[in-house]
Amino acid sequence: MNKVIHFEIPSNNKEKSKAFYGEVFGWQIKDIPVKMDGSISSYTTTMTVAIDPTTMIPIEPGAINGAIRERKNEIKSPIISIEVDSINDYLDKIKTYGCRIIEGKQRIENMGYYAYITDIDDNIIGLWENISRS
């Protein structure tokens, strides 16, 4: 069974969103540099639960952390990300259901790969593949 491991909240104004989620819900929010497909970008993480500092995985079973991202393209609603063994295999699977690929497989250096797809109701969901499985 593939589990939900991450969420992303799109924002029109990341600074206001960071203040809102940090102050209202007490989330720890931090901008971190990530290397994505060869270029360095800033990624805004949201920690809703404590993590193991070595693995960056939540300590509490079943808990997930996420991110705030700029609202762009078709990504206008919150997204859940599902961990899979092979994004390429799942991109093939979704096509048999008539679903679309919103953003194809992209690498985040030293972490893994992600892609955005639609489900059968045109909801956008994320796929995540750990780099250790690549």
- Between CA 62 and CA 4 the distance in angstroms is 9
Residue 40: pLDDT band by 50, 70, 90 thresholds? confident
Residue 134 has pLDDT above 60, yes or no: no
Instruction: Scan for tokens 């690929």, then name that residue.
Output: 101
Q: How many domains does the chain have?
A: 1
Residue 37 has pLDDT above 80, yes or no: no
pLDDT value at residue 133: 42
Domain containing 42 equals 4-133
Partners of 51 in beta bridges: 58
Residue 123: pLDDT band by 50, 70, 90 thresholds? very high
Which of the pair, 46 or 111, is modelled with greater confidence?
46
CATH number of the domain that residue 24 is part of: 3.10.180.10
3 state SS of 57? coil
Q: Tell me, what DSSP letter sits at residue 133?
A: G
Residue 6: pLDDT band by 50, 70, 90 thresholds? very high
Instruction: Scan for tokens 């700029």, then name that residue.
Output: 70
Average the pLDDT over 91-103 and give the result.
94
What are the tens digits of pLDDT across the range 58-91?
899 889 999 998 888 778 899 999 999 999 999 9
